[in-house]
Amino acid sequence: MNYMEEYKKWCESPEFDEETKKELLAIKNDEKEIEDRFYKELEFGTAGLRGIIGAGTNRMNKYTVGKATQGLANYILEQGTQEKGVAISYDSRKMSKEFALQTALILCANGIKAYLFENLRPVPELSFSVRNLGCTAGVMITASHNPPKYNGYKVYWDDGSQIVSPRDKEIISKVRAVEKYSEIREITKEEAEQKGLLKIVGTEMDDKYLDVLKNLVLNPDIMKEEGKELKVVYTPLHGTGNTIAERLLTELGMKNVYVVPEQKDPDGNFPTVDYPNPEEKKAFKLALELAEKVGADVVLATDPDADRLGIFAKDAKTGKYMEYTGNMSALLIAEYRISQMKEKGILPKNGMFITTIVSSDLAKAIAKYYNLECIEVLTGFKNIGAVMKKAEENQDKKYVFGFEESYGCLIGDYARDKDGISAVMALCEAACYYKSKGKTLWDAMGDIYKKYGYYKEAQVSIYREGASGAQEIKDMMTKMRNTDIEKIGDYKVLTFKDVEQDIVKNMITGEVGKTGLPKSNVLYYELEDNSWCCIRPSGTEPKIKLYMGIKGTTEDDAINRLEKLKEAMLNLVQ
């Protein structure tokens, strides 16, 4: 069925309600919009189901959410784990609460117990809750850091991690097998509660989650003492973060926490930001203004579902607030925590430091220094979670730290997703510790570069909207995949990896081997002089992403080299 036939079906079939039909009839003369809404079905990417809210197969709506949930329910019933139940949380986005309740009731209609949070909660608390409640699965309704018009549906399995291969493919096949929306089972909230299938989760889970986080603090006395003076500005960017963050910091002894008032309350319109993403400097505008006003030492922001953290820290020498990349903030936390664990004699000998292939090579240097095994996985924190699960089952390695360059890390094994809340806590603890030594967080970052070398990284996104854009992105990947590239900018290509084809090619000798990584549409170029590049399509947005990293002799040298490499990559791809 082509997109126009599918559109007509949605406009005419009794399966769809009048509100949906009205929305679709309003675009009857806009073929481009019709095509974009119906040229494909939403698919599970690195972060599950995600799309623009609206009517259509390529949109987030009660029908696509219903189909995904019925497919998940069919899979759970096939596994025979329905008694364990499913934990469900949601963020502040438009329709999040409605989609969460709908998900819970569809599961209940299939005889599956649903643990639904009474109100919005962060992704990491959902991951923790799946494990704490012994659930078979979890669902988080969120589009993470995407623009306001998006929403999404993340599926977790019993280990608290987002679903990975082969389970993701098995669930997707069950979703696709739901051919008619009339197959989606229904039940009322009252009936679900009467049958004991719908359980509402309240603040008792917050208490459990926060207790676990507080026990991960390595220097509680220093945090309590220096926390009397340290000034922190925090913004949840209208999301879930402040359901937990301010309370956590206050209970740990932080006396000067300033939450940006205009962004404190949840709001799916995100009225003060175009893009609620802590990776974007624009998102920090109000937070930085408040920081200047109160003389803050640290400025922190979490995205709407609070799995990502962005940071600015004051440079005492210049008085300016300095921006950290996701690599920088995560590795600052890593160096602080791992050095303190070693000093206290609690760093495991069989410890793992898990990173991704597009994250900073500084991770390898830190892991080597502390005699930890550095394990590289594909992009997506679920792949870090998969390594944690295997180690837990085999009981042969201990998780110490894991992160990805996209502003996410996890400081303990209580969850299986990146945690912006614990990252807020860890950075505040680190700031207190370094303050006790007469240093700022910016001083600490400088010390790391002096110790290990000047590693710098960049990421560039090229957006291509709609069906034609999807084809353009596909063509870009095909062109790069089928071209033997021997040099990128000033650097010779030493090794080329095509992860989708499971090929590693030595560009000097011509020798070909296997990557050993799960199949994924990723191209990776190892360059001379400790440099690298990578290219892949986004799994959640209409864009192709370019990653690159270098190691310079000084900070200025690193910055100059990185800019040249970025320019060379852009010229190569476009």
CATH of the domain at 235: 3.40.120.10
Q: At which of 201, 227, 262 does a domain end?
A: 201
- The reply to whether 237 and 301 lie within a common domain is yes
Number of H helices, E strands in the chain: 19, 23
Structure tokens at 109: 């209609």
Whose structure tokens read 């192709």?
Answer: 544
Reference 223, options 430, 388, 499, 50; nearest CA is 430
Residue 179: how many other CB atoms lie within 10 Å: 8
Find out whether 546 and 570 touch, Cβ atoms under 8 Å: yes
- pLDDT at res. 540: 74
CA 373, CA 353: separation in Å to the nearest integer? 6
16 lies in a domain?
no
Q: Are residues 215 and 194 in the same domain?
A: no
Q: What is the pLDDT of residue 44?
A: 62
Tokens representing 485 are 């590239």
Asked if 499 and 537 touch (Cβ cutoff 8 Å), the reply is no
Question: Is the residue at 2 inside a domain?
Answer: no
Residue 432 belongs to what domain range? 209-452
Instruction: Please check whether residue 98 lies inside any domain of the structure.
Output: yes
Q: How many residues does the chain have?
A: 574
Report d(CA 108, CA 291) in Å as an integer: 47
Low pLDDT (below 70) residues in the chain: 44-48
Say if residue 440 is in the same domain as residue 506.
no
526 lies in the same domain as 427: no
354 & 479 share domain: no
407 and 290 both lie in a single domain: yes
Residues 542 and 433 in one domain: no
Distance CA 555, CA 101 (A): 51
Angle between helix 466-481 and helix 555-573 axes, rounded to 10 deg: 110
In a domain, 332, yes or no: yes
Q: Is 329 a catalytic residue?
A: no
One domain for residues 551 and 414: no
Is residue 161 situated within a structural domain? yes
420 & 485 share domain: no
What CATH number is associated with residue 531? 3.30.310.50
CA distances 176 to 181, 183, 467, 519, Å, are 11, 12, 21, 21
Q: What are phi and psi of 485, to 5 degrees?
A: -100, 115
Residue 141 lies in a domain: yes
pLDDT tens profile 381-402? 999 999 999 999 999 999 999 9
Domain shared by 197 and 238, yes or no: no
Q: Do both 245 and 384 map to the same domain?
A: yes
Quote the number of domains for the chain. Answer: 3
Put simply, whether the predicted model's pTM sits higher than 0.85 gets the answer yes
Question: Does residue 443 belong to any structural domain of this protein?
Answer: yes
Nearest to 92 by CA among 156, 150, 19: 150
Catalytic residue among 127, 129, 144, 538: 144
pLDDT of residue 47: 56
501 in the same domain as 363: no
Instruction: Report which of 245, 204, 254 is spatially closest to residue 263, judged by C-alpha positions.
Output: 245
**End residue of a domain, out of 183, 201, 219:** 201
Q: Which one of 433, 452, 471 terminates a domain?
A: 452
